[in-house]
Amino acid sequence: MFSVKWQNGVLVESKGFSIVLDPMKKVESADFAFISHAHMDHTNAFTDSNKIKYSTKETAALYEAVADRKTKNVVSCAYGQSLSVHDTRLKVVNSGHVFGSAALLLVHDNVTFFYTGDFNFANTLTQNAISPQECDILVIETTYGRPDFVFPSREDVYDQIVQWAASTIMHGDIPCFLVYPVGKAQEITRLFNLFTSIPVVTHPSITRANATVNSFGGDLAFYDLAGAGEEILKSGNCVCLFPTSLNSRAIKMVYPRARVATVTGWGLTFGKRSADTTFVLSSHADYLQLLSFVKECNPKKVYTIHGYSEIFANKLKRLGFDSAPLEV
**Binding residues for Zn ion (CB under 5 A):** 39, 118
Give 118 or 286: the residue with its C-beta nearer to Zn ion: 118
Give 114 or 321: the residue with its C-beta nearer to Zn ion: 114
CB of 275 to Zn ion, least distance (A): 21
Give 48 or 141: the residue with its C-beta nearer to Zn ion: 141
CB of 307 to Zn ion, least distance (A): 12
Give 101 or 202: the residue with its C-beta nearer to Zn ion: 101
How do 239-243 and 174-179 pair as beta strands?
Answer: parallel
Give 94 or 112: the residue with its C-beta nearer to Zn ion: 94
Nearest to 90 by CA among 62, 115, 127, 60: 115
Q: Which residues, at least 6 apart from 190, have a Cβ–Cβ distance to it below 8 Å? A: 125, 126, 220
CB of 289 to Zn ion, least distance (A): 15
Residue 201's alpha-carbon distances to 12, 71, 193, 223, in angstroms, are 43, 29, 11, 5
Element (DSSP H or E) covering residue 228:
none
Phi, psi dihedral angles at 247 (to 5 degrees): -135, 170
> Which stretches of 225-308 are DSSP H helices?
229-235, 248-254, 267-270, 287-297
CB of 47 to Zn ion, least distance (A): 17
DSSP 239-254: EEEEETTS-HHHHHHH
Give 97 or 259: the residue with its C-beta nearer to Zn ion: 97
Task: State how far the Cα of 303 lies from the Cα of 312, in Å rounded to an integer.
Answer: 10
Nearest to 96 by CA among 124, 76, 137: 124
CB of 181 to Zn ion, least distance (A): 12
CB of 185 to Zn ion, least distance (A): 13
* Rounded CA Rg of the chain: 20
According to DSSP, residue 41 is labeled G
Give 99 or 287: the residue with its C-beta nearer to Zn ion: 99
CB of 121 to Zn ion, least distance (A): 14
Task: Identify whether the C-beta of residue 47 lies closer than 8 Å to the C-beta of residue 25.
Answer: no
Sequence letter at residue 140? I
Give 88 or 304: the residue with its C-beta nearer to Zn ion: 304
DSSP 6-40: ESSSEEEEETTEEEEES-SS--TT-SEEE---SSG
CB of 87 to Zn ion, least distance (A): 31
